[in-house]
Amino acid sequence: MNIRNNHGKFETRAIHAGQTSDPQNGAVMTPIYLTSTFEQDAPAVPRDGYEYSRTKNPTRLALEENVASMEGANWGLCFASGLSATNALLDSLLPGDHVVCGNDLYGGTHRIFRQVFERYGIRFSFVDTTDAKNVAAAMEPATKMVYLETPTNPLLRLSDIAAIAEISRKGKARLIVDNTFATPYLQNPMELGADVVLHSMTKYLGGHSDAVAGALVGNDEELFDSYAFFQNSCGGGLDAMSSFLIMRGTKTLALRMDRHCANAMKIAQMLEAHDAVDKVFYPGLASHPQHELAKRQMRDFGGMVAFEMKGGVEAGNTFASSTRFFTLAESLGGVESLVETPPSMTHAAIPAAERHAAGLADGLVRLSVGVEHVDDLIEDVQQALAKATSTVNAS
């Protein structure tokens, strides 16, 4: 892929890469090409390769170049959701192929692995990837793919991308990193040796909770051909309208992430010092088990914070129902703050025994810290903690 306007530093490329003014009228913003089909110059002679929007659409192409550029990759492919991107990855595997993956993954990723692709004879080993040795131990001759999330959803655990890239290379397996939580502004897995980066662009890249979208980016042309084939053959390509919305989001990613990170750090510190809180999970805290790796591998620590209250499930549920600015909802990465309880919401598809084995307590609360004024967010968290504590004490 020849990425248009792929120049400058991150903030500049996020705004310009893949974007060109309209040659006919100079429109500065990429138009939303709401067309299913394209006029051909002669039978089987499409103009610029455009014949049908499932296969190729100008608005989607602009976003594909944009997201590839942000990750420093050669190509990008955009899908109808993050899971549709995961689906295209897995479509390339055959029965008997083996995948080594983390044991603390997004609930939907766990579900598509266990409940969809295991039925087709693809095998998955779920291991604690925070220790690269566990990945090495799980590798088999049939291992085609190593699949990491770092930081993980919801426990914010980190895995050493460079070390695991080395292990994957030795085992002739492709390393895929789900970079949704960090975003390309904070972490670039391909620079550390990953073959493919996956994004749920529904989250920070879109940034406004108004579109569902996913992406794969990489350098290897063979992988591009394979995933583009599945994008077209299985029909998971992103539509023009959503492509436009995500592209509007990526332009301000750097600005938003700076504020998400600053706000999340302050909230994590406040939670850690609070009497009602038992444990806080945030890579920016010195108490985080992979804090040193976070400093090495990421530019900042992100906008997601998880915690457990001393009052357990009941306190956590009361907290999540008592906030004013943190809306009780799934998803993350938008400008507005959200709160949820992963075991009963985003991660309910994972059986309880597996959740517990992975260290995911039933009382866990997850915050997606938005870009509101931090004083308002802190006050909101404090009043909800107080309410949750008094409810538990009273019962």
108 makes contact with ligand PLP (CB under 6 A): yes
The 156-185 site mask, x for binding ligand PLP (CB under 6 A), equals ----------------------x-xx----
281 makes contact with ligand PLP (CB under 6 A): no
203 makes contact with ligand PLP (CB under 6 A): yes
Output 63 or 388, the one with its CB closest to ligand PLP: 63
Q: Which stretch binds ligand PLP (CB under 6 A): 103-111, 277-285, 286-294, 352-360?
A: 103-111
Check if the beta carbon of residue 162 is closer than 8 Å to that of residue 193.
yes
How would you class 331 by CB atoms within 10 Å of its CB: exposed for 0-12, middle for 13-18, buried for 19 or more? middle
Can you say whether the dihedral through the CA atoms of 270, 273, 278, 284 is positive or negative? positive
| Contact residue for ligand PLP among 64, 97, 149, 340 (CB under 6 A) | 149
DSSP-derived letter for residue 31 is P
Output 187 or 389, the one with its CB closest to ligand PLP: 187
d(CA 342, CA 365): 7
Output 238 or 277, the one with its CB closest to ligand PLP: 238
Q: How near is the Cβ of 78 to ligand PLP at its closest, in Å?
A: 11
Q: How near is the Cβ of 26 to ligand PLP at its closest, in Å?
A: 34
Output 149 or 308, the one with its CB closest to ligand PLP: 149
What Cα–Cα distance (Å) separates residue 335 from each residue in 263, 316, 383? Answer: 12, 23, 21
CA angle, corner 253, sides to 251 and 254, nearest 5? 110
Element (H, E) at 66: helix 58-70
Q: Which of 97, 104, 160, 178 is catalytic?
A: 178
106 makes contact with ligand PLP (CB under 6 A): yes
For residue 322 the two structure tokens come to 């008592």
Q: How near is the Cβ of 5 to ligand PLP at its closest, in Å?
A: 26
From the CB of residue 93, how many other CB atoms can be counted at a distance below 10 Å? 17
Q: How near is the Cβ of 182 to ligand PLP at its closest, in Å?
A: 10
Q: How near is the Cβ of 316 to ligand PLP at its closest, in Å?
A: 20
Q: Which of 33, 50, 106, 282 is catalytic?
A: 106
Listed in sequence order, the residues at least 6 apart from 118 whose beta carbon sits closer than 8 Å to its beta carbon are 124
Told to judge if 54 belongs to the known catalytic residues of this protein, a careful annotator would answer: yes
64 makes contact with ligand PLP (CB under 6 A): no
Output 214 or 249, the one with its CB closest to ligand PLP: 214
153 makes contact with ligand PLP (CB under 6 A): yes
Least Cα distance to 342 among 136, 152, 120 occurs for 152
What Cα–Cα distance (Å) separates residue 244 from each residue in 53, 142, 211, 301? Answer: 14, 40, 10, 28
The 211-230 site mask, x for binding ligand PLP (CB under 6 A), equals -x-x----------------
Told to judge if 227 belongs to the known catalytic residues of this protein, a careful annotator would answer: no
Told to judge if 133 belongs to the known catalytic residues of this protein, a careful annotator would answer: no
Q: What region, left, alpha or beta, does residue 126 occupy, with left being phi > 0 and alpha being psi -120 to 50 degrees? A: beta
Provide the terminal-to-terminal Cα distance of the chain, rounded to the nearest Å: 62
| Contact residue for ligand PLP among 59, 69, 109, 187 (CB under 6 A) | 109
Least Cα distance to 165 among 132, 127, 198 occurs for 132
Q: How near is the Cβ of 153 to ligand PLP at its closest, in Å?
A: 4
Dihedral angle computed from the Cα positions of residues 75, 154, 209 and 21, in that order, rounded to the nearest 10 degrees = -20
Output 111 or 387, the one with its CB closest to ligand PLP: 111
d(CA 63, CA 94): 30
# residues contacting ligand PLP (CB under 6 A): 16
For residue 251 the two structure tokens come to 């332009």
Q: Which of 4, 54, 251, 299 is catalytic?
A: 54
Told to judge if 106 belongs to the known catalytic residues of this protein, a careful annotator would answer: yes
200 makes contact with ligand PLP (CB under 6 A): yes
231 makes contact with ligand PLP (CB under 6 A): no
Output 19 or 150, the one with its CB closest to ligand PLP: 150
**Strand ranges inside 80-131, DSSP E:** 98-102, 123-127
Where in the sequence numbering do the catalytic residues fall? 54, 106, 178, 203
Which residues bind to ligand PLP, rule: CB under 6 A? 81-83, 106, 108-109, 149, 153, 178, 180-181, 200, 202-203, 212, 214
